[in-house]
Protein backbone atom coordinates (compact mmCIF):
# COMPACT_ATOMS: atom_id res chain seq x y z
CA UNK A 1 0.00 0.00 0.00
CA UNK A 2 2.93 2.35 0.65
CA UNK A 3 4.09 1.88 -2.93
CA UNK A 4 0.64 2.47 -4.39
CA UNK A 5 0.06 5.58 -2.27
CA UNK A 6 3.51 6.97 -2.96
CA UNK A 7 3.03 6.21 -6.64
CA UNK A 8 -0.29 8.02 -6.72
CA UNK A 9 1.38 11.10 -5.25
CA UNK A 10 4.32 10.79 -7.67
CA UNK A 11 2.02 10.28 -10.67
CA UNK A 12 0.08 13.41 -9.81
CA UNK A 13 3.24 15.45 -9.35
CA UNK A 14 4.75 14.22 -12.63
CA UNK A 15 1.54 14.81 -14.58
CA UNK A 16 1.22 18.34 -13.17
CA UNK A 17 4.89 19.08 -13.81
CA UNK A 18 4.98 17.69 -17.35
CA UNK A 19 1.44 18.09 -18.75
CA UNK A 20 2.59 17.61 -22.34
CA UNK A 21 4.50 14.42 -21.51
CA UNK A 22 1.83 12.49 -19.61
CA UNK A 23 1.37 9.74 -22.20
CA UNK A 24 5.09 9.02 -22.60
CA UNK A 25 5.47 9.00 -18.81
CA UNK A 26 2.51 6.65 -18.47
CA UNK A 27 3.89 4.38 -21.19
CA UNK A 28 7.32 4.36 -19.53
CA UNK A 29 5.81 3.33 -16.21
CA UNK A 30 3.77 0.57 -17.89
CA UNK A 31 6.97 -0.62 -19.59
CA UNK A 32 8.76 -0.65 -16.22
CA UNK A 33 5.93 -2.69 -14.66
CA UNK A 34 6.15 -5.20 -17.52
CA UNK A 35 9.92 -5.40 -17.15
CA UNK A 36 9.58 -6.14 -13.45
CA UNK A 37 7.02 -8.80 -14.34
CA UNK A 38 9.48 -10.48 -16.71
CA UNK A 39 12.18 -10.40 -14.04
CA UNK A 40 9.94 -11.49 -11.16
CA UNK A 41 10.26 -15.29 -11.56
CA UNK A 42 14.03 -14.92 -11.34
CA UNK A 43 13.79 -12.47 -8.44
CA UNK A 44 11.45 -14.81 -6.55
CA UNK A 45 13.91 -17.68 -6.98
CA UNK A 46 16.83 -15.48 -5.95
CA UNK A 47 15.05 -14.25 -2.80
CA UNK A 48 13.99 -17.79 -1.90
CA UNK A 49 17.55 -19.11 -2.33
CA UNK A 50 19.22 -16.17 -0.62
CA UNK A 51 16.89 -15.95 2.36
CA UNK A 52 15.93 -19.60 2.84
CA UNK A 53 17.27 -19.55 6.40
CA UNK A 54 16.23 -15.97 7.15
CA UNK A 55 13.73 -15.04 9.81
CA UNK A 56 10.21 -14.04 8.85
CA UNK A 57 11.05 -10.44 9.65
CA UNK A 58 14.07 -10.47 7.31
CA UNK A 59 12.01 -12.10 4.58
CA UNK A 60 9.17 -9.57 5.03
CA UNK A 61 11.58 -6.62 4.84
CA UNK A 62 13.24 -8.06 1.74
CA UNK A 63 9.94 -8.60 -0.04
CA UNK A 64 8.74 -5.15 1.03
CA UNK A 65 11.72 -3.48 -0.66
CA UNK A 66 11.55 -5.81 -3.66
CA UNK A 67 7.94 -4.80 -4.35
CA UNK A 68 8.25 -1.12 -3.45
CA UNK A 69 9.44 0.19 -6.83
CA UNK A 70 6.97 -1.70 -9.05
CA UNK A 71 4.06 -0.76 -6.79
CA UNK A 72 5.14 2.89 -7.00
CA UNK A 73 4.97 2.57 -10.79
CA UNK A 74 1.55 0.92 -10.53
CA UNK A 75 0.20 3.60 -8.24
CA UNK A 76 1.42 6.36 -10.55
CA UNK A 77 -0.56 5.38 -13.61
CA UNK A 78 -4.12 6.27 -12.57
CA UNK A 79 -3.36 9.88 -11.50
CA UNK A 80 -1.52 10.41 -14.79
CA UNK A 81 -4.53 9.20 -16.72
CA UNK A 82 -6.93 11.28 -14.64
CA UNK A 83 -5.00 14.46 -15.40
CA UNK A 84 -4.64 13.53 -19.08
CA UNK A 85 -8.35 12.76 -19.54
CA UNK A 86 -9.40 15.81 -17.54
CA UNK A 87 -7.56 17.97 -20.07
CA UNK A 88 -10.00 16.78 -22.75
CA UNK A 89 -13.20 16.79 -20.64
CA UNK A 90 -14.88 19.66 -18.85
CA UNK A 91 -16.02 17.71 -15.79
CA UNK A 92 -13.40 16.37 -13.38
CA UNK A 93 -15.99 14.16 -11.68
CA UNK A 94 -16.83 12.40 -14.93
CA UNK A 95 -13.13 11.99 -15.78
CA UNK A 96 -12.24 10.48 -12.41
CA UNK A 97 -15.40 8.41 -12.18
CA UNK A 98 -14.96 6.93 -15.64
CA UNK A 99 -11.30 6.10 -15.15
CA UNK A 100 -11.90 4.68 -11.67
CA UNK A 101 -14.74 2.55 -13.06
CA UNK A 102 -12.58 1.10 -15.83
CA UNK A 103 -9.58 0.71 -13.51
CA UNK A 104 -11.70 -1.26 -11.03
CA UNK A 105 -13.39 -3.25 -13.79
CA UNK A 106 -10.00 -4.12 -15.28
CA UNK A 107 -8.63 -5.21 -11.92
CA UNK A 108 -11.71 -7.36 -11.28
CA UNK A 109 -11.60 -8.96 -14.71
CA UNK A 110 -7.85 -9.49 -14.44
CA UNK A 111 -8.26 -11.22 -11.08
CA UNK A 112 -11.08 -13.40 -12.37
CA UNK A 113 -9.28 -14.35 -15.59
CA UNK A 114 -6.05 -15.06 -13.73
CA UNK A 115 -7.63 -17.14 -10.98
CA UNK A 116 -10.17 -19.08 -13.01
CA UNK A 117 -8.66 -19.30 -16.48
CA UNK A 118 -4.94 -18.60 -16.71
CA UNK A 119 -3.94 -20.57 -13.61
CA UNK A 120 -6.11 -23.44 -14.81
CA UNK A 121 -4.43 -23.73 -18.21
CA UNK A 122 -0.98 -22.22 -17.70
CA UNK A 123 1.89 -22.27 -15.23
CA UNK A 124 2.61 -19.42 -12.84
CA UNK A 125 5.53 -18.23 -14.97
CA UNK A 126 3.45 -18.31 -18.16
CA UNK A 127 0.76 -16.28 -16.42
CA UNK A 128 3.35 -13.76 -15.22
CA UNK A 129 4.75 -13.44 -18.74
CA UNK A 130 1.24 -12.95 -20.14
CA UNK A 131 0.66 -10.10 -17.67
CA UNK A 132 4.01 -8.54 -18.64
CA UNK A 133 3.06 -8.71 -22.31
CA UNK A 134 -0.19 -6.91 -21.45
CA UNK A 135 1.82 -4.12 -19.78
CA UNK A 136 4.09 -3.86 -22.82
CA UNK A 137 1.04 -3.74 -25.10
CA UNK A 138 -0.45 -0.85 -23.12
CA UNK A 139 2.93 0.93 -23.22
CA UNK A 140 3.20 0.56 -27.00
CA UNK A 141 -0.39 1.72 -27.52
CA UNK A 142 0.24 4.83 -25.42
CA UNK A 143 3.50 5.61 -27.24
CA UNK A 144 1.64 5.23 -30.55
CA UNK A 145 -1.23 7.43 -29.33
CA UNK A 146 1.30 10.08 -28.35
CA UNK A 147 2.90 9.95 -31.78
CA UNK A 148 -0.45 10.22 -33.57
CA UNK A 149 -1.76 12.98 -31.27
Q: What residue ranges do the domains of the chain occupy?
A: 2-148
pTM, to two decimals: 0.85
pLDDT tens digits, residue range 82-104? Answer: 888 888 777 888 878 888 898 89
Instruction: Flag whether pLDDT at 148 surpasses 80.
Output: no
The pLDDT, as a whole number, for residue 141 is 92
**DSSP labels, the chain:** -HHHHHHHHHHHHHHHH-GGGHHHHHHHHHHHHHHHHHHHHHHHHHHHHHTTTS-HHHHHHHHHHHHHHHHHHHHHHHHHHHHHHHHH-S-HHHHHHHHHHHHHHHHHHHHHHIIIIIHHHS-HHHHHHHHHHHHHHHHHHHHHHHHH-
Amino acid sequence: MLGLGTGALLGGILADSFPNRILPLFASFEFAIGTFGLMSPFLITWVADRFVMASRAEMAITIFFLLLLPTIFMGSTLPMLVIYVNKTHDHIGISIGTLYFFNTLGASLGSFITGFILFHFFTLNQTIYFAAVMNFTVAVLMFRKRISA
